[in-house]
Amino acid sequence: MSKTFAFSAAPRDRKVVKVGETVTLDPNKTQEPLKNFLWSFGQQAPVETITIVTNRELTQVNGTRFGNRLHTNALSGLITISNLRVSDSGTFCIQIFTESHILTESIILTIEDNLKNVLEGENVTLETPMDQLETKHTVTWTKRNGDEWKLIAQWKHSGTIIEESFKDVLQLNPQTGYLTFIRVR
């Protein structure tokens, strides 16, 4: 008689890397060789399957956000993502299926944009990759406070929202989505 057990743990690892870099996520696997597993991803929780391995055979998941930037090692369970973007930040979860149970591990990945040095009293502008926003676009700027992200500015449906406590120090460009901090303190 076989029994199946599922184990889940809080994220064991947090990685912080910069935009444009490459990262390898390595499951802290058991002694058993990996044969069947899947990786999933989500910005808040892992909801999108990004790679599946069954009997050590890789099945490509079409249409994921990572496209050809994602590479999976079907033997070790490693995934490597190249040319990282800020939008690649989130929780990655591997489920390893064995004959007796399912092991689940999570890794939180944070991608930081290139940092800018600014003198006090100067303005600093953070850019988007857009030359011209269209009605279908949404630009959201957030500020990290510990493990939480707080909305500070947004352009959506041709309208601009700036969080009340930032109204005197932020400008959001409605053509490009660029965010300018006025007279940095």
Task: Read off the pLDDT of each residue in 146-171 and give the average, rounded to a whole number.
Answer: 86
Domains, the chain, in order of start with CATH, read 5-112 (2.60.40.10), 124-181 (2.60.40.10)
CA 120 → CA 145, 158, 182, distances in Å?
Answer: 22, 32, 10
**pLDDT bucket at 5, cuts 50 / 70 / 90:** very low
pTM value is 0.59
Strands (DSSP E) found in the chain? 5-7, 13-18, 23-25, 36-42, 48-54, 57-60, 70-72, 79-81, 90-97, 101-112, 124-126, 138-145, 148-156, 159-162, 170-172, 179-181
**pLDDT bucket at 95, cuts 50 / 70 / 90:** very high
The CA distance from 111 to 90, in Å, is: 9
Q: pLDDT tens-digit profile of 78-89?
A: 999 999 988 888
**Choice between 33 and 6, residue whose per-residue pLDDT is larger:** 33
